[in-house]
Amino acid sequence: MKFSWWKILTILLLAYTIIGGLVLDVPRLPILNETIRALYFHVTMWFGMIIMLVVAVIYSIKYLRTNDLRHDDIAIEFTNAAILFGVLGIVTGMLWAKFTWGDYWSGDPKQNASAIGLLMYFAYLILRNSLTDVQQRARIGGVYNIFAFAAFIPLIFVLPRLTDSLHPGNGGNPGFNAYDMDSNLRMVFYPAVIGWTLLGTWMSLIRVRLKRIERRIEDKLINQVS
């Protein structure tokens, strides 16, 4: 099996993220200590999720302009991958919170906003699956996807800054760049963002390919029957 260059890059970046994230030096900060290594998974997965949601919105708009189901295929599968990364991001964030804040879920505004945002996208999947007509599903799903993204971004980036929050960069707390995003962290952080994003893209494109194969098989069966 022949791999594209970017797939090989994905494997290398994620291997580096996992190994480097566990063994390379990190800043010794009060409370955080070694738990800051969760940054390479929790935060970077959410960066990847946001990028994939942007791709999904772009292709939802393309579908609404063209009615081409190939665009909807990309929109839904990138959204699926983004939701997976969002769930993994919340789980790793909960583990991090347990060791730094003392509890898995402390009701922090950003935690709550992130959970609400994911629930909006779960509703998107439920809505799509409740519709049987393919074009109607794609059209309504495309509109929902655009509005969900428009609500999701201020929900997780703007609203937590307007109130007290334990997250860095929110509620008056300094962000990581202000005191601890040193060169050691950057050496793994940025490759991790690229690696997770490429992995999500890889997963999405495989699902898109399978979806299109299934559609061609269904079309052939319908033509044979008719």
pLDDT at residue 103, as a whole number:
85
Q: 68-77, 87-96, 151-160, 163-172 — which one is most confidently predicted on average?
A: 68-77
Is the predicted pLDDT of residue 83 greater than 90, yes or no?
A: yes
Length of the chain: 226
Label residue 164 by pLDDT band (50, 70, 90). low
Mind listing the pLDDT tens digit for each residue in 37-53? 888 999 999 999 999 99
What's the domain range around 62? 5-225
CATH value at residue 9 = 1.20.120
Q: Which residues have C-beta within 8 Å of that of residue 62, sequence separation ≥ 6? A: 68, 71
Q: How many domains does the chain have?
A: 1
pLDDT at residue 157, as a whole number:
85
Mind listing the pLDDT tens digit for each residue in 107-148? 888 888 999 999 999 999 999 999 989 999 999 999 999 999
Radius of gyration for the chain, computed over Cα atoms and rounded to the nearest angstrom: 20
Mind listing the pLDDT tens digit for each residue in 56-78? 999 999 999 999 999 999 999 99
Distance CA 33, CA 68 (A): 51
Q: 90-99, 120-129, 153-162, 163-172 — which one is most confidently predicted on average?
A: 120-129
pLDDT at residue 31, as a whole number:
65
Distance CA 178, CA 183 (A): 13
pLDDT at residue 174, as a whole number:
46
